[in-house]
Chains A and B, each alone.
Chain A
């Protein structure tokens, strides 16, 4: 059964075994596994149900429907970093690039050491990764889907002698429509909207859309549900009160919203780590303009990644976006913007991703809004400068006429010689323009309450009945796209709940 705003006029109170808050890479996986195991599952999703048949290439209508706060979300700090999160059934999996990378073995080895448990080690995670990859059809693309920006990046890397890794993506017969960030119109991207959510619904799960959860219900020190308000689709006001009573609650709202919800209840006290360890894999964009057409809007969103500098925590990749999103990020307006945008078909949008060296923190701000704070370190800044210089050099080597740089005081380079000024001019992090989509680490998993927020089963140390199942769980940054790792951990948490079925259902 699925509900939306109009339904809450009559139905305001729901009873269920397991309440799942969020339908993204974490929530949908836990929900589908539990529903298929016979639990009575209810999902709550703040966004709307937007099926594949409603996707389009128009960003103004799509962003409103699919992105949190219409895409106007920012991390405060030095420099401020805009970030994107999905807010629709399927969460961020509906709007992500669909890259399927497992957390690297050395990272899992670190997790094993940090937690003192083999449960998060490479061997224990192997079967979980396999299970998830099979469900979302993680594989390489057929040649018919590969576009010219991908070919150019691969050719550039090979010319420079750099290592190229071909992406595995969650796709079934992807034909390179390249609308991943606004919802895949061919249905090829295997987001949770078309994989785990149908499974959960078929197994009898209930889905409450357009409800924003404001607080958890806590009775006798145990989490027994949540209370929220339905959001009016036209006025955007959260008005009708909706209450869900449950025996256990899984919070899967992502690396920013999960700690924000939990912080309201002052949980995570033993370690004081809730909201801390905020990691976000910041990105800088490098936009190259070529003398010939590339038509990068045709072909798969990101076919490969350049991993030559992965040991230093630096990744390069292409990631093309519609003209509206691109125009919003260029350093010009008016006539100058038009002159550049006229060459849209000649552009290749690429990015430098840097693995975090220092975490930030999520605060609960005014009126209950999440306030992420994150500063990049001098070390991160230096790695960005190196990455941007190298990637821009590659574009010039491949014949680019100009490269738009992510520096406020040095927005364009017209030759390799211009890149020599980067080290001289870029002395402050404030002049760097970044963005991010990977948000994680704010309710870290561990085996000791004094240093983690949740136990290895995902349950909060100081709030029985409340579980976390999203990227907040990560004990450290993983340096790769996180969706597969989130899904694998969510599968693990679902497995623990199924194993403890009797205890979970008897509780409350």
Chain B
């Protein structure tokens, strides 16, 4: 039997089909069944699903460059939520994200980490590097650089801050502290959709709870709830 799916069976795609068929119509039918679920499926909503995908290895960095990155993580991330091995987790996540950038961008960003670490000396603010300055002064310097009138410096800070904040606010501990709970909500929505696709009608309790809005009674207008209902699609 010839393999249809190539030498390695791709993830989330049905098993090999029978390809010894000579009739074109039969072949088409086999293919239709085989690929009917292409792209589809119900997610587990886990951070890394066991689907055969291999994430990139963290970008290689020297020990000194990693120390610069950790100093920036300490300064840029809020300290309110305690997480085990926070710096290590953030560092790994940042380096893994950088592995997906074009090498020239990743190299540039990594160079920026070092540049920022040395910036107190370049700017004659301190004889120490950022990683050894006291936190308050270092934070102040980072704020100043973020608001620099020089576009290049601002862009460096934007990229550095963006990648670190993105990693921090993607942690479950932080989500809990923010009362952001997407997993149970999505599970509930996935099951609602399955119910709707099975032919059941949406109930009033399926609607997302709404809050009172101001200016609802002005000029004899219909309420927003009535406006939304009037403009919603008929079929689900």
> A: which residues have CB within 8 A of B?
1-4, 6-7, 9-11, 48-61, 63-65, 69-70, 72, 74, 79-80, 89-90, 139-148, 150-152, 154-155, 158-159, 166, 173-177, 179, 185-188, 191, 193-194, 197-198, 201-204, 233-236, 292-295, 297-299, 303-304, 322-331, 333-335, 337-338, 341-342, 344-345, 366-367, 369, 397-399, 408-409, 430
A61 to B100, CA, bound (A): 11
Tell me if B175 counts as interface (CB < 8 A to partner A): yes
**Other-chain residue from A2, A59, A144 in contact with B166 (beta carbon distance below 8 A):** A59
A79 to B42, CA, bound (A): 41
Q: Which residue of B lies closest to A151 (CB)?
A: B224
A49 surroundings in chain B (CB, below 8 A): 10-13, 39
A187 to B43, CA, bound (A): 9
**Other-chain residue from A166, A197, A233, A338 in contact with B38 (beta carbon distance below 8 A):** A197
Q: A185-B45, A298-B185 are in contact. Are A143 and B232 (CB under 8 A)?
A: yes
Instruction: Say yes or no: A1 contacts B5, CB within 8 Å.
Output: yes
Q: Which residue of A lies closest to B167 (CB)?
A: A60
Instruction: Say yes or no: A334 contacts B190, CB within 8 Å.
Output: no
A56 surroundings in chain B (CB, below 8 A): 43-47, 49
A186 surroundings in chain B (CB, below 8 A): 186, 189-190, 193
Total number of B residues with any Cβ neighbor in A under 8 Å: 109
Instruction: Say yes or no: A147 contacts B208, CB within 8 Å.
Output: yes
**Interface bits B183-219 vs A (CB < 8 Å: 1, else 0):** 1011001101100110000100011101101111010
A159 surroundings in chain B (CB, below 8 A): 214-215, 218
Instruction: Say yes or no: A51 contacts B210, CB within 8 Å.
Output: no
**Other-chain residue from A52, A148, A155 in contact with B208 (beta carbon distance below 8 A):** A148
A203 surroundings in chain B (CB, below 8 A): 28, 31
**Other-chain residue from A236, A325, A333 in contact with B99 (beta carbon distance below 8 A):** A236
Instruction: Say yes or no: B165 contacts A327, CB within 8 Å.
Output: yes
B40 surroundings in chain A (CB, below 8 A): 51-53, 187, 194, 198
A148 to B218, CA, bound (A): 20
A65 surroundings in chain B (CB, below 8 A): 53
Expressed in whole angstroms, the minimum distance between the Cβ of B28 and any Cβ of chain A is 8
Q: Which residue of A lies closest to B222 (CB)?
A: A158
A304 to B208, CA, bound (A): 16
Tell me if B75 counts as interface (CB < 8 A to partner A): yes
A22 to B94, CA, bound (A): 28
Instruction: Say yes or no: B224 contacts A155, CB within 8 Å.
Output: yes
Q: A179-B182, A236-B99 are in contact. Are A140 and B170 (CB under 8 A)?
A: no
